[in-house]
Structure 1
Amino acid sequence: MTVDLIPAGWLRRTATRIQRKLRALFTPDTATGSSVESAYARWAPIYDWVFTAPLVYGQRAAAREANKLDGTLLEVGVGTGLSLPLYSRKLTVSGIDLSEPMLERARQRVAREHLGNVAELQAMDASDLTYGEASFDLATVMYVMTVVPDPAKVLAELERVVRPGGTVIIVNHFASERGVLALAERLLARFSQTLGWDPLFRRERILAHTSMTLEHEERLGPLGLFTMMVFRRP
């Protein structure tokens, strides 16, 4: 179905209903820190219930790539730890996230599922990592680049903390050029601060700000909404 086949009146009515629902669900709290941190604090209690199905494709794909390797792995934006059980036990995993409520749920998951290969889970800003240079063999960064204020800083930090020759796996949604998805993204962009992510994020914002080599790129489900990029640090 193309946009031309959708009645304009139906689109307007649907957009209005979505806007009302989003306003009812999300109320920005500028008094409690960054909009991202506030948004994810609100998401934390229902995050797993809402996002397990749409995010699992990217998590499985990233874990599949990571599990080809061994050594130390950093997951940036670990959230509630949905991906942690997917990693091979030969990987020693550290996870960081800006949201302490999300991390608390991740710690509960680690204890509940006896994930002994998870070394640590820390509250940390992805654009200002406290790890030293070349601390990790690889890193996974899933659904994060549309959230952070400065993706270029995050990429620079990844290149710093991953060893030369190491791997960085990025999973992200990138803006559509046309069609129904592009229309939906423009609608959602009005609520980017309260949603906690940027629906109009373009792939060039990754490629233009890294010296790493893109070795593999793959569209992922559902409906090709997400893309996995596998980089090698020089």
Structure 2
Amino acid sequence: MNESEAGLSERRSTAAGVAAPRLRERDVVEAYARWAPIYDAVFGRLMDGSRRTAVEALSADTGRVLELGVGTGISLPHYPSDMRVTGIDLSPEMLEIARRRVRSEELRNVEAILEMDASATSFPDASFDAVMAMYVMTVVPEPDKVLAEIRRLLRPGGRLLVVSHFAADGGPRALFSHLFAPLFRALGWNARITAASLKAAPGMRFISDRPAGLFGFYRLLEFEVV
């Protein structure tokens, strides 16, 4: 997939306050339709440590969790059985694999797997204790709208955990990003989204930023709704 196919164009992100490429929703859905049959084989082991790190960061008393961009449901078996999990995604092909996983692995704590836009869900206010966003914020067309929706969905004091690769200004991670830019575009990722842009989002108290796999290439950001 070339850059035009990835649907990249310049826009102003209100969450970040800096120019960033805009990803078109249709292009992201089409990209993941192509990746769905092989996604687990290609990215399963590569990203599994990051997924486990994120789930383990959830407080033990977390009740209901919403996972944005649940994809093939590859992270669902990692959740403790006493946490009730709902997963949403825009890719029907990915979601069908996730539903098969829930059935085959008898994941009874998974409440629902739904085709839904993360920036405009149908859930009531304050429905969840935690929102998990694994490799999502670099894919969604309008991160500021998704963050606003997350704030609406979380109860007061609820936690947001974001796992992704974020753009770096320099050093080895910046070089790594440059080398893997074609792959990121093929996945529909916006490799320019920075951790700093998310930390500046209104209505969220930033808690921590820590390594989450591949020697710090992936990061785990944690926030609390205020």
What TM-score, normalized to structure 2?
Answer: 0.85
- Which structure shows the bigger proportion of residues in helix conformation? 1
State the alpha-carbon separation in 2 of the partners of residues 192 and 144 from structure 1. Answer: 12
Partner of 1:78, secondary structure, is: coil
Structure 1 117/191 Cα, relative in aligned 2: closer, same or farther at 3 Å? closer
Larger deviation: 35-44 or 204-213?
204-213
Structure 1 counterpart of 2:196, from 204, 212, 233? 204
- Matched with 1:227 is 219
**Unmatched 5+ stretches in structure 1:** 1-21
1:108 has 2:100 as partner: yes
* Cα offset, 1:73, TM superposition: 0.8
- Matched with 2:142 is 150
What is the root-mean-square deviation of aligned Cα atoms in Å? 2.2
1:88 has 2:80 as partner: yes
Amino acid at match of 1:232: E
How many residues of Structure 1 are paired with residues of Structure 2 in the alignment?
A: 209
Mapping of residues 7-156 of structure 1, within 5 Å: 28=5, 34-66=26-58, 68-156=60-148
State the alpha-carbon separation in 2 of the partners of residues 185 and 34 from structure 1. Answer: 24
Larger RCO: 1 or 2 (CA < 8 Å, sep 6+): 2
Structure 1 191/171 Cα, relative in aligned 2: closer, same or farther at 3 Å? closer
Amino acid at match of 2:195: R
Q: Is the 8 A contact 2:6 2:185 kept in 1?
A: no
Give the % identical residues: 42
**Unmatched 5+ stretches in structure 2:** 8-24
Partner of 1:66, secondary structure, is: coil
* Cα offset, 1:137, TM superposition: 1.2
* Cα offset, 1:195, TM superposition: 2.3
State the alpha-carbon separation in 2 of the partners of residues 184 and 85 from structure 1. Answer: 30
Structure 2 counterpart of 1:179, from 162, 171, 195? 171
Q: Is the 8 A contact 1:214 1:230 kept in 2?
A: yes
Larger deviation: 42-51 or 178-187?
178-187
Partner of 1:175, secondary structure, is: coil
What TM-score, normalized to structure 1?
Answer: 0.82
